[in-house]
Amino acid sequence: MIVAACTGSNTPGRSSLPDIETLTTTVSESDQIHYPGRLLVLGSEGEIATMRSDGTDQVTLAEPDPEVEERTQPTWSPDGAWVAWTERRADQETFLVVADRDGRTLIEAPSPLLAVYIAWSPDGEHIGLTGGVGDGSLQLAVAGSDGQIAVIDQGSPLYFDWAPNGSEVLARISGRFEYLAIDGSGRTTVPATGNFRLGAHIGESVVLGNARDVGEALAVADRSGGIQRELVRYSTPMAFVVDRIGGRLAVMSRGSPESQELAGVEETDLPIVEANQLVVVDADDGEVREVSRAQNIAWFWSPDGRLLLYSTLEFLEGVERLQWHTWDGEMSTSYRAFSPTGIFGRDYLAFFDQLARSITLWAPDGSAFAYAGGTSLEDAGVWVQAVDGGDPVRVSPGVMAMWSPTP
């Protein structure tokens, strides 16, 4: 293990709350029931802590530090035992930091980049990072079990998904679509004609976009790019998220001139996903179920793949807000509208289809979800919402929160 050695969505803008509070603020709303797992919370001064779902039993992993200019992308390991993040210090040196969930062990290694995205390998042995460089492009780096961090590619835009074997990443870089060996031993091109943002895995198969006469088709292919089956047609840009079981995809395409042209197609061999229509597609039989036709912003599957959490843009009394909903396969349940914190909106919701590969807002048993925001500057912080209803509970100050993947 490493610790032994060492974006198709609009960003909610006007409604985002400034990141003003810190984790040291007293929180009184701590009488809710406990949900399994722990929350990982980032504060506005760069402090990082884990806590129970009601805000109690806080364990500080990183304190505010005047010598640290920025901490980014705290992310749980797959087993929930470790947390990784990057930080840039006043001397402009950058480090990857890994801490255990109890705060007893903290290990750091010099990093070539300040991460805008972190994803652990499926086996927890490596950490993939992407971050910017001076020319405006992004680098993809991998931290190995020897504590060394090596840049393995560079370009823009840049997205990646870990291969199930943990020894490769499937990267979409500057239009290229390739498997990259993390030890630098080689790369394998996956032929793809689509203009999709990023690919994903369903078992050993790859989900990608395949160009059609108008628009594209979302397709399942083998790792050599051979199309196994096409699922739906859509116009670009498109975003999708695969459930954690690997059986269904939540898909939406944005409105564009191409979507109007696609809507005029009278005969097609595939269902058409209309502009701004959020649907769920069964990867095996191609069945399509509509979820929403609102202004959908981001969506995340529950750990068991039973529920889809999605947010829509709403205008309530003239104020732009986001509203969470859960879809159970038949109907949706709506929850209180809120404004996201700046970091949650800008760094996470805007790139949710990438972030959904490495983080979860859901409690491990799917009984609740967490988010960072509020209805005003006074109540901004971390909130927990029970799926079965009731008011959300503010459990802590903070600008971002995610749930541990395990109890």
Q: What is the CATH number of the domain that holds 214?
A: 2.130.10.10
What is the DSSP code string of 192-261?
-----S--EEETTEEEEEEE-SSSEEEEEE-TT--EEEEEEEEPSSEEEEE-TTSSEEEEEE---HHHHH
CB atoms within 10 A of CB 391: 12
Boundaries of domain holding 16: 2-403
> Strand 138-143 vs strand 227-234: parallel, antiparallel, or unpaired?
unpaired
Residue of 24 and 41 predicted with greater confidence: 41
- pLDDT at residue 33 in the model: 78
> Strand 68-76 vs strand 48-51: parallel, antiparallel, or unpaired?
unpaired
Question: In the predicted model, is pLDDT for residue 32 greater than 70?
Answer: no
Global pTM value: 0.92
Q: Give residue-wise pLDDT tens across range 334-366.
A: 999 999 999 999 999 999 999 999 999 999 999
Residues paired with 373 in a beta bridge: 340, 381
- pLDDT at residue 245 in the model: 87
**CA angle at 77 for the pair 50 and 224, rounded to the nearest 5°:** 150
Residue of 30 and 231 predicted with greater confidence: 231
- pLDDT at residue 133 in the model: 86
Contact partners, residue 118, CB within 8 Å, separation at least 6: 73, 75, 84, 85, 86, 127, 128, 129, 358
- pLDDT at residue 1 in the model: 54
Question: In the predicted model, is pLDDT for residue 22 greater than 60?
Answer: no
| Secondary structure (3-state) at 267 | coil
Q: Give residue-wise pLDDT tens across range 244-255.
A: 888 999 999 998
CB atoms within 10 A of CB 194: 20
**Which of 113-122, 141-150, 277-286 bottoms out in mean pLDDT, i.e. has the lowest?**
141-150
Q: Give residue-wise pLDDT tens across range 134-190.
A: 788 999 999 987 889 999 999 999 999 999 999 999 999 999 999 999 998 999 999
CA 42 – CA 27 distance, rounded (Å): 16
Query: Count of domains in the chain?
Result: 1
The rounded percent of the chain whose pLDDT value lies above 90 is 83
Q: Where would I find the beta strands (DSSP E) of 24-67?
A: 39-42, 48-51, 59-62
